[in-house]
């Protein structure tokens, strides 16, 4: 079995936002797709260790900001490389606006946003797959939608999150937030220090020095 086949699947990058008890939060997700057009429904997967996951689970309401190729790296640092359990991700952040549902969406580096209400969900070990109905939406930019490959090739600084790897070491990248672990092998019980993803959410990538 050639596990590299998984790398041929395409991914976008999005900021999922929620609001509960006057608190706002958001996280990066990389799996979202349309499932029906009448009515408009989309589905996306969210890591169960994320605060945004729990807020959506309880409130059933969210916004999904579709990031564009103009998204700056600091957007990923804010919403992907820290946890809302320890930090207020919207503190001193002005590149956002409240939609009609009262939840923030991102305005900078964003192609479009969708306001959603959850209809069903499925627990998948580390993640929950949410199926939501789109209640409102708008296009904000003519820029191209951001793909996971474009992010790694053009936005994320080379070597970010990883120490220099020697020739005999490997790099294991988190599929959720992009954190990179360097070592001979990834421990089976390893947990991403940024987003909380488990070891089975990492994939091996080529050494940075190759």
Give CA–CA dist 120/46, Å, rounded: 13
My answer on whether 129 and 80 are in the same domain is yes
My answer on whether 87 and 175 are in the same domain is no
My answer on whether 122 and 31 are in the same domain is yes
Q: Residue 18 sits in which domain range?
A: 3-151
My answer on whether 147 and 49 are in the same domain is yes
My answer on whether 53 and 119 are in the same domain is yes
My answer on whether 61 and 124 are in the same domain is yes
In total, how many domains does the chain have?
Answer: 2
- pLDDT one digit per residue (tens) for the chain, 210 residues: 886 787 788 889 999 999 999 999 999 998 899 999 999 999 999 988 889 999 999 999 999 999 999 999 999 989 988 889 888 999 999 999 999 999 999 999 999 999 999 999 999 988 999 999 999 999 999 999 999 889 988 998 876 655 544 556 678 878 777 777 888 888 888 888 767 778 888 887 753 332
Give CA–CA dist 182/43, Å, rounded: 33
Domain membership of residue 62 (yes or no) is: yes
Domain membership of residue 14 (yes or no) is: yes
109, 68 contact by CB (below 8 A): yes
Asked whether the whole model's pTM tops 0.85, one would answer no
* Residues sharing a CB contact under 8 Å with residue 129, sequence separation 6 or more, in sequence order: 43, 44, 45, 121, 122
In this structure, what CATH number is given to the domain that contains residue 193? 2.20.28.10
My answer on whether 140 and 67 are in the same domain is yes
My answer on whether 74 and 178 are in the same domain is no
My answer on whether 147 and 170 are in the same domain is no
């Amino acid at each position: 079995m050639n596990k590299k086949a998984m790398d041929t699947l395409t991914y976008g990058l999005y900021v999922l936002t929620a609001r509960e008890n006057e608190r706002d939060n958001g996280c990066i997700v990389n799996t979202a797709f349309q499932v029906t057009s009448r009515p408009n429904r989309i589905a996306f997967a969210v890591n169960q260790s994320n605060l945004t996951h729990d807020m959506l689970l309880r409130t059933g309401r969210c916004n999904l900001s579709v990031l564009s190729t103009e998204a700056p790296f600091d957007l990923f640092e804010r919403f992907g490389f820290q946890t809302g359990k320890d930090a207020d991700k919207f503190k001193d952040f002005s590149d956002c606006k409240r939609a009609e549902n009262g939840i923030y969406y991102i305005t900078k580096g964003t192609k479009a946003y969708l306001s959603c209400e959850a209809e069903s969900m499925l627990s998948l070990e580390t993640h929950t797959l949410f199926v939501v109905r789109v209640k409102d939406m708008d296009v904000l930019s003519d820029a191209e939608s951001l793909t996971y490959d474009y992010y790694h090739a053009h936005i994320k600084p080379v070597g970010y999150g990883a120490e220099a790897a020697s020739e005999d070491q490997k790099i294991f990248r988190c599929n959720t937030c992009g954190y990179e672990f360097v070592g001979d092998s990834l421990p089976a019980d390893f947990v991403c220090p940024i987003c909380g993803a488990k070891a089975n959410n990492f994939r091996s990538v080529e050494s940075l020095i190759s």
